[in-house]
Amino acid sequence: MTKAPRSAVPDGDGPAEVAARFTGRTVTGVRTLSGSLAEAVLDDGRVVVVKDAGGAEAARAEAAGLRWLAAAGAVRTPVVHGHDAFRLVVDRVAPGRPDREAAVRFGRELAALHAAGAPAFGAPPPGGPVEAFVGRAPMRNVTGDEWPGWYARHRVLPYLRRAVDDGTVSPAEADLVERVCARLPELAGPAEPPARLHGDLWNGNVLWGADGHVRLIDPAAHGGHRETDLAMLALFGCPHLDAVLDGYQEAAPLAGGWETRVGVHQLFPLLVHAVLFGRGYAEQALAVARAAG
């Protein structure tokens, strides 16, 4: 449960001052949502969220990602008012309830977002850093021309090596994943152009708005394969996922056999989570590798 708005604006360069600086409005109240999030009420009645992004590059990457996704004119994102070396100020999303109609709409909009494209696999958003983040894990936006090799070198293997170094995955187990990487050209399906990805599309970053439209938050945006976003939605669960997929397929049908490739696309987020959270996610990644192998 969040706290009620406070009657007095805190002293110093806190959420109120940051919100006022980037919106140009007077802040009438602030309430803390968590250690890194606060809401600020503006004098015109609007509410903005002030987020501690964890550092200058993280704040820049998130702001650039949100703007790049919004520029596609497809899935909506909160308006970015600005960012400094640590904080990001965006519009608050009035929450609604997910239903099938909104899910189908989201699927169509997600297809349009992906179709907006990217200059290359791994391309960062305009103004975004090469040294970016996926959640709290570093993510390098190094570009490539063909998806299988790029995905192996820059999305799967860096986290696999980190998991081995940390003792979360044994060298013998890592060999299972490396064999899948070597077979990616035959496992990847038909070649597709780079899609404009959210990049961290788990359910917590999908906000169902009161107006019936989804907003996407906290992106790790880059050019990638569109099936990767969909695989992550499936990995961590999404309300009415079947309806989301129906809407997506209506707008931009997936290549045949996409269901058999879901696990391959889940290797990236599973290994990121293994690095961040430990062995349980490593075991899921190894199960995916065994099934693909």
| Per-residue model confidence as pLDDT tens digits over 175-232 | 999 999 999 999 999 999 999 999 999 999 999 999 999 999 999 999 999 999 999 9
Say if 63 falls within a structural domain: yes
Cα-flanking dihedrals φ and ψ of residue 122, to 5°?
85, -5
Q: How confident is the model at residue 12 (pLDDT cuts 50, 70, 90)?
A: low
- Within 10 Å of residue 170's Cβ, how many Cβ atoms? 12
What's the pLDDT at 85? 86
Confidence of residue 8 (pLDDT cuts 50, 70, 90): very low
Structural domain contains residue 8:
no
196 and 66 in one domain?
Answer: no
- Which pTM does this prediction carry? 0.92
Q: Which one of 52, 145, 175, 200 is the catalytic residue?
A: 200
pLDDT band at 25 (very low <50, low <70, confident <90, very high): very high
Indicate if 110 and 194 belong to the same structural domain. Answer: yes
Look at residue 260 and tell me if it is in a domain: yes
268, part of any domain: yes
* Pair 156, 288 in one domain: yes
Give me the mean pLDDT over the 9-19 stretch.
73
If asked whether residues 252 and 176 sit together in one domain, one would say yes
Q: Do 21 and 121 have their domain in common?
A: no
For residue 5, what pLDDT is reported? 32
- Does some domain include residue 4? no
Q: Which backbone phi and psi does 192 adopt, to 5 degrees?
A: -130, 155
Closest by Cα among 77, 123, 90, 133 to 225:
123
Domain count, the chain: 2
Shared domain check, 81 and 215: no
pLDDT band at 55 (very low <50, low <70, confident <90, very high): confident
pLDDT at 54: 85
Would you state the pLDDT for residue 2?
A: 26
- Report the DSSP beta bridge partners of residue 42: 27
**Does residue 261 register a pLDDT over 50?**
yes
49 and 82 part of one domain: yes
DSSP helix, strand, coil percent of the chain (3-state; round to 5): 45, 20, 35
Q: Give residue-wise pLDDT tens across range 63-116.
A: 999 999 999 999 999 999 999 888 999 999 999 999 999 999 999 999 999 999
The DSSP annotation for 180-191 comes to HHHTHHHHS-S-
CA dist 205 and 255 (Å) reads 26
Going by pLDDT thresholds of 50, 70 and 90, the confidence category of residue 11 is very low
pLDDT bin (cut points 50, 70, 90) of residue 35 is confident
Query: What pLDDT band is residue 56 in, cutting at 50, 70 and 90?
Result: confident
Calculate the alpha carbon distances from 55 to 66, 86, 88, 127, 218 in Å.
17, 5, 10, 16, 14
Q: Are residues 69 and 203 in the same domain?
A: no
129 vs 79: CA distance, rounded Å = 20
Q: Is 200 labeled as catalytic in the residue annotation? A: yes
Residues 117 and 232 in one domain: yes
Q: 161 and 52, same structural domain?
A: no
For the chain, percent of residues with pLDDT exceeding 90: 89
Q: What is the CATH number of the domain that holds 26?
A: 3.30.200.20
Give percent of the chain with pLDDT exceeding 70. Answer: 96
Instruction: Tokens 């179709």: give the residue.
Output: 115
Looking at the fold, whether 174 and 79 belong to one and the same domain comes out as no
Question: Which residue range forms the structural domain that includes residue 77?
Answer: 15-91
CA trace torsion 135, 138, 139, 142 (10° rounding): 160
To the nearest whole number, what is the mean pLDDT of the chain? 93
Region 49-71 average pLDDT: 94
CATH number of the domain enclosing 224: 3.90.1200.10
Quote the pLDDT of residue 3: 30
* Same domain, residue pair 279 and 159: yes
Residue holding tokens 């997600």?
110
